[in-house]
Structure 1
């Protein structure tokens, strides 16, 4: 089985369409959505609907902090992000909002854990942005392979004595994951990359041979940015799509 993984879709229809198409071409037949379906982007309804359709067909989706904020805004988001959440709420009908509210914080599937933020406190929304944080997350689960979103940069960590090691994946190059190690993979943001590359990020896992491959997928980020501006959302969100920062 080959699993397609998308994180941080952020209401970016163009990026999601491009990643789904690329993963279909890579022979993916199973799907995992690692949270933050909404926020920042201009097409929240479309993204929620496409993920909901996949979930009805057997896909996995987990709750992200932006998804949770539709019902419970909280106090951890900056002003612009909250403005986007307020706007997003007006774009979603009751059934779409209910779908987001019902998403689980984490899902275990065979030897894999899917979670948006981290394994040690999924509802606390702390980032796995360092070797120490990766070690903390790996220590909180017995899963051989953990997939996270939340951090918008692709990364791959693996267990070793002491803190986890960081491996920087190269797009399009399959990585054999040794069964003697435990792994934590962050596919990167589909809908709002922040590593200086505007191409959408996603990944696939081949469960038969234990290979993981990170992808970067060019898409019409200028159109997605123009839609953000047309919706009168904060311009910074459009600019991020153009620069990937």
Structure 2
């Protein structure tokens, strides 16, 4: 099976549309979305509407849970905190209910093993394993879930790593890429050969930046969309 994988859309509708179109051109059999559908960007309602219309399987990310539930503890001051209440205010009870309905993990049996997907560590969407860490720390991730493939979104950086006979991968961020290059990240995975191909999909920034300014959202986001990095990064 050729699987298209997206993650971290972060309420960026033009990026989502461009990434979906690119995956269609690739002829993938299915598309899986690894969470953080909302937060930061100006299109939370539109992004959820598109995913619901497409009927794509999506998982809950940490941002989806923050928006859907009044979780204890405040976010530190910054871009995230500045967009949280606004994002929640844009969504209807039906859309908030959709976020609450999202599962924390996805499992699928394959011919040669199991695929497990989540935002961050399964069951803990705010915990992001270091996919560049030692082999001895990564192999238990596969063994714990009896998985040949583990797809773990949330770090906003595309990365795939073979661990023994298995694979761990993060598709990067469709809507808020931090790879140092603007555009939407998407991943195509052959679940039999474990061949991975990362796509960097350009999209029109004009409508995104117009809506960002129109809603008075933090202007630093404009720099992130243009450069693929937060300004404080080197």
Could you say which TM-score interval applies, normalised by the shorter chain?
0.7 to 0.9
> Structure 1 residue 155 and structure 2 residue 159: aligned?
yes
| Residue from 115, 118, 125 that aligns with 2:118 | 115
1:107 Cα deviation from its structure 2 partner: 1.0
1:81 Cα deviation from its structure 2 partner: 0.8
1:29 Cα deviation from its structure 2 partner: 3.1
> Structure 1 residue 72 and structure 2 residue 54: aligned?
no
* Structure 2 counterpart of 1:224: 208
Asked if structure 2 preserves the Cα contact closer than 8 Å seen for 1:222 and 1:241, the reply is: no
CA distance in 2, matches of 1:9, 1:68: 14
Aligned-pair Cα RMSD in Å: 1.9
Asked if structure 2 preserves the Cα contact closer than 8 Å seen for 1:202 and 1:214, the reply is: yes
**Which range is displaced more, 27-36 or 201-210?**
201-210
1:236 Cα deviation from its structure 2 partner: 1.8
| Residue from 179, 183, 197 that aligns with 2:167 | 183
Asked if structure 2 preserves the Cα contact closer than 8 Å seen for 1:128 and 1:137, the reply is: no
> Structure 1 residue 143 and structure 2 residue 138: aligned?
no
Please give the TM-score of this superposition, normalised by the length of structure 2. 0.87
1:54 Cα deviation from its structure 2 partner: 2.8
Asked if structure 1 preserves the Cα contact closer than 8 Å seen for 2:19 and 2:174, the reply is: yes
**Which range is displaced more, 13-22 or 215-224?**
215-224
CA distance in 2, matches of 1:150, 1:203: 14
Asked if structure 2 preserves the Cα contact closer than 8 Å seen for 1:33 and 1:51, the reply is: no
* Structure 2 counterpart of 1:214: 198
* Structure 2 counterpart of 1:126: 127
Structure 1: gaps of 5 or more residues = 161-180
Show the 5 A alignment for 1:8-157.
Answer: 8-55=8-55, 59-70=56-67, 71-75=69-73, 77-79=75-77, 80-110=79-109, 111-119=114-122, 122-123=123-124, 125-129=126-130, 130-132=132-134, 134-135=138-139, 137-157=141-161
* Structure 1 counterpart of 2:184: 200
CA distance in 2, matches of 1:222, 1:136: 44
Aligned length: 220
Please give the TM-score of this superposition, normalised by the length of structure 1. 0.83
* Structure 2 counterpart of 1:244: 228
CA distance in 2, matches of 1:77, 1:125: 13
Asked if structure 2 preserves the Cα contact closer than 8 Å seen for 1:113 and 1:143, the reply is: yes
Q: Structure 1 residues 13, 202: CA separation in 2 closer, same or farther (over 3 Å shift)? A: same
Asked if structure 2 preserves the Cα contact closer than 8 Å seen for 1:127 and 1:150, the reply is: yes
1:222 Cα deviation from its structure 2 partner: 4.3
